[in-house]
Amino acid sequence: MPRPQPRTITLTIDGREVQAPENAMLVDAAKHGDVEIPVFCYEPKLGNPVGACRMCLVEVEGIPKLQTGCSTPVKDGMVVHTQTERVKIAQQSVVEFLLINHPLDCPVCDKGGECPLQDITFGWGGGISRFIEPKRHFVKPLELSPLIAIDRERCILCYRCVRFSQEISEDYQLVLSERGAHSYVSTFDGHPYVAPFSGNIVELCPVGALTSRAYRFRARPWEIEDAGSVCTLCPAQCNVTLTVRDERVLRVLARDHPEVDDGWLCDAGRFAYPAPDGGERVTEPLIRDGGMLRPVSWEQAMEHAAAGLQRAGVRTGAIVGGQATNEEGFLLARLLREGLDSPHLDSRVAGALPLELHRALGDPRLQARVSDLEFAHAVLVLDAEPITDAPILDLRLRKGVRRHGMRLERAGSEDLQAVRELARQLSERGEEVVLLWGERLAGGPNGADAARALLDIATTLSLGDVEGAGLLEIPAWTNGRGLREAGVLPNAGPGLSAVAQEGLDARGMADGLIEGELSALYLLGADPLERLADRARWEQALGRASTVVAHAAFLTDGVREHASVVFPAESYAEKEGTVTHPDGRIQRLRPAVAHVGSTRSEWRVIAELAARVGLDLGVLTGSMATAQLVRAVPFYAGITPEEIGGKGVRWQEREAAGAYPLREQLR
Amino acid sequence: MSSKLLFDRIDEPGLSTLAVYERRGGYSALRKALAMAPEDVLSELEASGLRGRGGAGFQMGKKVSFLPKGSMEKYLVCNADESEPGTFKDRELMQKSPHMLLEGIVIGSYAAGANCSFIYIRGEYVLQADVLDAALAEARAAGYLGEDILGSGHSLSLTVHRGAGAYICGEETGLLDSLEGKRGNPRLKPPFPANQGLYQGPTLINNVETLCTVPTILRMGGSQYAKLGVETSTGTKIVSVSGQVRRPGNYEITLGTPSREIVYGLAGGPPEGREVKCWFPGGSSSPVLRADDLDLPYDFDSIAKAGSMLGSGAIIVVDDSTPILDVALKVAKFYRHESCGKCTPCREGTNWTVKMLERIDSGEATPMDLDIMASVQEHIIGNCLCVLGDAMAMPIGSMIAKFRPEFEAHIEAARARNGLGAAGALAGPAPALAQGAL
């Protein structure tokens, strides 16, 4: 579907010429000329403007009435006034109207200090109050849900939260009840607002009416710092801003990235942040002693782990998952391959895939972007459940269907012939077809067949040649794509290079441990009992291992029962490094808070262990690790932290993508 | 003055049945229209100069011509919500001559190229909706509605939809939302319903009386119809006269008839010994006029020139026995109750205005409050999402402007009753916006 590509026009705002995209709403166009027009109800993320709050009234020459800037598309030659007496009075009157029923409890309001109503009152209000009647009253605050409190007295009825529920998350729960000055926001049936994306309404609220119950009264805006990072709880890798006070994360906000998250967060990403501080975190090294894990010094833990790994040597396997970064995976692969001469590495949850297929599936020309989900003619979801696998993609798919008439279908890979037929039917809607597939498609016993079928479909529909079409994988682990590209595969080194000797995949490692072929297992962020198939077999395998080294933030079953050494793992808010988004966008994690307890960076632990088994990895800082990774992966060549910046960089869109190891005949 | 077109023998028994309506020549205009090309029907409507009878007074023919051409699904919606206080003309038309409305709708849909139509009737009009449903069944059976009407190839479905009772559902976009099953809130315009209306399709929305006039225009010919009335207000209009008059009711008049003739001649003027204090020329949302404005010709432009509007053609007469404050409160409370709450100035402004008016009556106000109240009305007018806010602010503003001495006297009397000192001593300039800005 064609994406909007507006031409630039010139309009005059307050006597100055401003260049802006044609048909942009005046409020947005004005920003190109450094003119701010105040708004409450307008939020482009929510779709078409509603013009409800009337805050953005401005004068447009040739139109007798004042116009709402939020709903006036700009045209070439338009002349706009935002500072005339008439506009000022209208805007002041709207502020006055809004404050009629708004309690002036800013000193005890969570929003105070970061409140659009405060700012706009100060910037565009009349500075006087003429209202002396009693204000309206509600019982407050109420629990709108276990996560959100609602203060109906503060609500200015801007409709944002209701529109979110009705038109973005489409849970259809929030409504405006009653009418006129008696209107209030509530759920349709009076039940709590429980929905997967409910937390976004807190961020949308322009006043202190909707507040996070977890954050309420925890900090004032002048006591906090913002730290930009990336949420690594799932493969969606949403961009976030962490609200930090006294070295603790107190809140997670969206850091709008149209190509990643579209400005939304799921409730897990938004509200799970207290977990790392919840008291169950592993904050110091542990070793197993008499069947129990007990805290030890770093020196003892390192010594213990290094000795165990050295004993096992080539008989060591490693599974990398969880929230591990590219650098961590890369360095661990070096430790295994160069330090212990072991080829047994995996970062996939099930089944080995031939290297050619890995390469073909990752073909840069075939990769769809997240935003393609929105504009595609059709999307076929295969073996994936976006709402749980990568929740934010669910919203993107809904947006595509609702706003652009995208056709959405879903299927499982059991019947590949049916999948081919479905894809063919979908392609009749238009050539931009995206296949959104889950890693488990290529993980089952017939994984390779399914992967080939996927590539077949892509070839038949020429997805590689059509802009906006392609494949998009949802990996099982957050950084699945990055770890594979960093070489954490049994059959591939950095940059999906061929390896001299193929190792065991995850399943093979279980067998190897049971059969005595392997004796040590290194777990980086991955607990086989939690995430890998066949728990009973893994129980047995872990029980047979003589050494299990685990990096873990929590004592999950496998770690608690079987680890010989546990290194405290960082939370993502403490991490430094890069991750690669499923669509190839390399994004940067930046430490927002200090390490809890005696936690150390994973890369540092790996480097030190390597040194103890006689391998100098040559990394003294996190950025040295990044530099080494970038040198080792040809199609990442030249990427620097500066280039990644706050918005990330898709490697497929860089020149170095030409170095991707693709053999034409395999496609 | 009274040349009866719509009300011609309206009280004839059985007129609501198809038999009587047909005997009187009913549906002949439809046959005539279907024999013409839709464009020719449209030009007849345009030639008639018929202005919408619902309130805005927009030319009907022009409205039809705004609908995009093409084969997309188009809709015709008849606005029978008749929610403006003082207006009860559509009720009588629908109850007594439902087929006239149906005939008008079919002709209108033919001109507009719409194949799907609705009558959105207010929920309180139970009898009228039943009458319409019965007439609809008859018309359908007779082939005036449905597939291939009278062999013309034109098809039209028609549904009578009963509203649940809200003034805002008489506003055309609020009506559309309500018809779609949503909360009846007005939509942002543009897009206008002619482009994106019901279910996003091009939609023609007309008032009952407007559509009832269509068969007459077809029978008379547009240019002939245009000779009635005055230049910019052609034809006849049914005026609902209510309030303090001796013979309240609906009267069909030729537009341009002197207002005095309607109020005194037809409706009998106020009761013995009383004088007209003020009158609403077009429903409760029109700015009030004084007794000396009664000499104005009753047509769209003359009333507009006097600072008010013809609106739905509902004259409400207030005589000198009624305090102006009571009138203001009645009006303001109605609009506060009916404000949908979507946009700020209307939601908050109507609420604030009522509170200030109540304070005048309880003796807690000063003349300064009148200044604030007047400025609040100014801040509402023209700044809202739809015209509901203006519908309160315009009459209230006009009352304060025209009857300020009476308001002030009321303030003083109420203060004295309340044992408070004279407000005159407190008089001073009221704070206004844009002066004391930060």
Are the C-beta atoms of residues B326 and B350 closer than 8 Å to each other?
A: no
- Distance (Å, whole) CA B156 – CA A464: 49
Chain B CB within 8 Å of residue A22 CB: no
Residues 156-175 of A with CB under 8 A from B: 156-157, 159, 175
Q: At how many degrees (to 10) do helices B208-220 and B28-35 cross? A: 70
pLDDT category of residue A507 using cuts at 50, 70 and 90: very high
Q: Which residue has the tokens 């966008």?
A: A585
DSSP readout, A515-566?
Answer: HTS--EEEEES--HHHHSS-HHHHHHHHHH-SEEEEEESS--HHHHHH-SEE
Structural domains of chain A, count: 4
* Gap between the Cα atoms of B277 and B243, Å rounded: 12
CATH number for position A581:
3.40.50.740
Provide the residue type at B192 as one letter: F
Confidence of residue A666 (pLDDT cuts 50, 70, 90): very low
Mean pLDDT per block of 10 residues along chain B (438 residues) reads 82 96 96 96 96 92 91 95 96 98 98 97 97 98 96 96 93 96 93 95 97 96 95 95 97 96 97 97 97 96 96 96 97 97 96 96 92 96 96 98 96 90 70 59
Q: Exposed e or buried b for every residue in A386-411, given b needs 16+ CB within 10 A?
A: beebbbbbbbbbbbbeeeeebbbeeb
More confident residue, A538 or A142: A538
Q: Per the omega criterion (within 30 degrees of 0), is the bond before B258 cis?
A: no
Mean pLDDT of chain A: 95
Contact A133 B359 (CB under 8 A): yes
CB contact under 8 A, A52 and B385: yes
Cα angle: A273, vertex A279, A282; to 5 degrees:
90
* Candidates A65, A100, A122; nearest CB to B352: A100
The pLDDT, as a whole number, for residue A382 is: 97
Give chain B positions within 8 Å (CB) of A65. 382
Residue A219 falls within a domain, yes or no?
Answer: no
Q: What angle do CA A493, A494, A495 make, to 5 degrees?
A: 110
Question: Do A462 and A501 belong to one domain?
Answer: no
Domain that holds residue A454: 355-475
Measure CB to CB from residue A93 to each of B341, B356, B433 and give the nearest one: B433
Distances (CA, A) of B227 to B54, B217, B232: 21, 11, 11
Task: Tell me the nearest-neighbour CA distance from A101 into chain B, angstroms.
Answer: 8
Residues of B in contact with A137 (CB under 8 A): none
Q: What pTM was computed for the model?
A: 0.94
CA B345 to chain A, closest CA, distance in angstroms equals 6
Residue pair B394/B287 in contact by the 8 Å Cβ criterion? yes
Q: How far is B393 from chain A (nearest CA, A)?
A: 14
Q: What pLDDT does residue A334 have?
A: 98
Residue ranges of alpha helices (H) inside B66-171 are 89-96, 98-112, 126-141
- The tokens of B132 are what? 């319409």
**Residue A389 belongs to what H/E stretch?**
helix A386-389
Q: With an 8 Å Cβ cutoff, are B431 and A128 in contact?
A: yes
**pLDDT for residue B426:** 64
pLDDT of B418: 85
Determine contact: A120 vs chain B, CB below 8 A: no
A181 CB neighbours in chain B (<8 A) are: 336, 339, 341, 347-348, 350-351
Query: Using CA atoms, how far apart are residues A602 and A622, in angstroms rounded to an integer?
Result: 10
The enclosing domain of A25 has a CATH number of 3.10.20.740
For testing contact with chain B, the best of A100, A136, A403 (most B CBs within 10 A) = A100
- Is residue A185 in a domain? yes
Nearest to A97 by CA among B180, B317, B396, B372: B372
Query: Which of A52, A89, A179 is closest, CB to CB, to B433?
Result: A89
Q: What is the mean pLDDT of residues A323-340?
A: 97
Which pair of tokens denotes residue A40? 């409450």
Domain membership of residue A603 (yes or no) is: yes
Nearest to A97 among B188, B337, B348 (CB): B348
Let me know: does A244 contact A592? Beta carbons within 8 Å.
yes
DSSP letters for A210-222:
EEETTTTTS--GG
Q: Please determine, for residue A436, whether its predicted confidence score (pLDDT) is greater than 70.
A: yes
Alpha helices in A274-384 (DSSP H): 298-312, 326-334, 355-361, 372-375
- Nearest-CA distance from A92 to chain B in Å? 7
A20 contacts A74 by C-beta, under 8 angstroms: yes
Mutation target among B350, B370, B383, B390 for the A interface, most CBs of A within 10 A:
B383
A152 touches chain B (CB under 8 A): no
Question: Where in A384-515 does DSSP place strands (E)?
Answer: 407-411, 433-438, 470-474
d(CA A69, CA A37): 7
Kindly indicate the confidence band of residue A335, based on its pLDDT and cuts at 50, 70 and 90: very high
For A353-392, the pLDDT digits (tens) are: 999 999 999 999 999 999 999 999 999 999 999 999 999 9
For an interface test with A, which of B178, B336, B354, B433 has the most A Cβ atoms less than 10 Å from its Cβ?
B433
**Among chain A residues, CA nearest to B358:** A133
**8 A C-beta contact, residue B244 and residue B272:** no
pLDDT at A6: 87
Of the candidates A65, A98, A131, the beta carbon closest to that of B344 is on A98
A8-13 vs A79-81, strand pairing mode: parallel
Q: Would you tell me how many other CB atoms lie within 10 Å of the CB of residue A641?
A: 16
A547 & A446 share domain: no
Where does the pLDDT of residue A2 fall: very low under 50, low under 70, confident under 90, or very high at 90 and above?
confident
Burial class (CB in 10 A: 0-12, 13-18, 19+), A618: exposed
Q: How far apart are CA A652 and CA A478, in angstroms?
A: 19
Q: What is the pLDDT of residues A525-555, one digit of tens each?
A: 999 999 898 999 999 999 999 999 999 999 9
Q: Which amino acid is at B373?
A: M
The full set of domains in chain B, from first to last, is 18-227 (3.40.50.11540), 230-319 (3.10.20.600), 324-422 (1.20.1440.230)
Interface touch A182/B341, C-beta < 8 Å? yes
Please report whether residue A304 resides in a domain: no
Q: Which residue has the tokens 């009321």?
A: B410
**How many Å separate Cα B307 from the centre of its chain?**
17
Interface of chain B against chain A, CB under 8 Å? Answer: 166, 168, 183, 188, 336-345, 347-352, 355-356, 359, 372, 376, 379, 382-385, 430-431, 433-434, 436-438
Is the ipTM higher than 0.90? The answer is yes
Residue A379's H or E segment, with its range, is: strand A378-382
As beta bridge partners, residue B18 has none
Q: Would you call B343 and A54 a contact, using CB atoms and an 8 Å cutoff?
A: yes
Best mutation site among A85, A95, A99, A130 for testing chain B: the one with the most B CBs within 10 Å? A130
Residues A413 and A446 in one domain: yes
Judgement on whether residues A521 and A593 belong to the same structural domain of the protein = yes
A 445-484 residues inside an 8 A Cβ radius of B? none
Query: Given pLDDT bands bounded at 50, 70 and 90, which one contains residue A129?
Result: confident
Residue of B nearest to A72 (CA): B190
Instruction: Verify that A457 and A541 share a domain, yes or no.
Output: no
The answer to whether the CB of B184 falls within 8 A of the CB of B340 is: yes
Mean pLDDT, residues A193-216: 97
Residue keyed to tokens 């013009």: A51
| pLDDT value of residue B115 | 96
Buried-exposed string B339-369: b where 16+ CB fall within 10 A, e elsewhere: bbbbbbbbbbbbbbbbbbbbbbbebbbbbbb
Rounded Cα–Cα distance for residues A562 and A542 (Å): 6
A457 shares its domain with A513:
no
Nearest to A94 among B336, B337, B344 (CB): B344
Residue B376 has which token pair? 């609040």
Question: Is A257 inside any structural domain?
Answer: no
Find chain B residues with C-beta within 8 A of A128's C-beta: 431, 433, 436
The nearest CA of chain B is from the CA of A206 a distance in Å of 15
State both tokens at A285: 């090294």
Pairing, β A16-21 against β A8-13: antiparallel
The pLDDT of residue A167: 95
A274 confidence band (pLDDT: 50, 70, 90): confident
Tell me phi and psi for residue B421, to 5 degrees. Answer: -70, 170
Q: Are A142 and A149 in contact (CB under 8 A)?
A: yes
**Residues A506 and A532: beta-carbon distance below 8 Å:** yes
Tens of pLDDT, residues A27-79: 999 999 999 999 999 999 999 999 999 999 999 999 999 999 999 999 999 99
Tell me whether residue A245 is in a domain.
Answer: no
Shortest Cα–Cα distance, B83 to chain A (Å): 17
For residue A291, with 0-12 CB atoms within 10 Å meaning exposed, 13-18 middle and 19 or more buried, which class applies? exposed
Q: What is the CATH number of the domain that holds A361?
A: 3.40.228.10
Domain boundary among A182, A212, A242: A212
Residues A372 and A517 in one domain: no
Across the interface, do B430 and A130 touch by the CB < 8 Å criterion? yes
- Partners of B254 in the β-ladder: B236
Q: Which of B185, B343, B358, B426 to mutate to test the interface with A (most CBs of A within 10 A)?
A: B343
Q: Do A125 and B437 touch (CB under 8 A)?
A: yes
Q: How far is CA A608 from CA A525, A546, A604, in A?
A: 18, 21, 6
CATH number of the domain enclosing A150: 3.30.70.20
The residue with tokens 């006297």 is B409
Q: What are the distances in angstroms from CA A426 to CA A301, A374, A378? A: 56, 15, 6
Instruction: Select the residue of B340, B345, B434 nearest A94 (Cβ to Cβ).
Output: B345
* Structural domain contains residue A247: no
Q: Which amino acid is at A507?
A: R
Q: Is A445 in the same domain as A462?
A: yes
The pLDDT > 90 percentage for chain A reads 94
Whether residue A88 and residue B183 make contact (CB cut-off 8 A), yes or no, is no
Those residues whose C-beta lies under 8 Å from the C-beta of residue A56, and which sit 6 or more positions away, are A26, A27, A37, A38, A39, A42, A68, A69, A70
Contact A179/B344, CB-based, under 8 Å? no
Q: Does A111 share its domain with A157?
A: yes
> Same structural domain for residues A651 and A625?
yes
Judged by a CB distance cut-off of 8 A, whether residue A180 touches chain B is yes
Same-domain check for residues A528 and A383: no
Instruction: Return the residue of A nearest to B166 by Cα.
Output: A179
- The closest CB to that of B352, out of A54, A126, A131, belongs to A131
CA distances from A274 to A123, A149, A253, A267 (A): 36, 18, 14, 13
- Cα(A22)–Cα(A10) distance, integer angstroms: 9
Q: In what helix (H) or strand (E) does residue B328 lie, and over which residues does it extend?
A: helix B324-338
Which of the 8 DSSP states describes residue A77? T
Q: In sequence order, which residues have a C-beta less than 8 Å from that of residue A472 and are 6 or more positions away?
A: A367, A368, A369, A370, A372, A373, A434, A435, A436, A437, A582, A583
Q: Is there a single domain that holds both residue A397 and residue A380?
A: yes
Decide if A29 is inside a domain: yes
Residues B320, B355: Cα–Cα separation, whole Å: 25
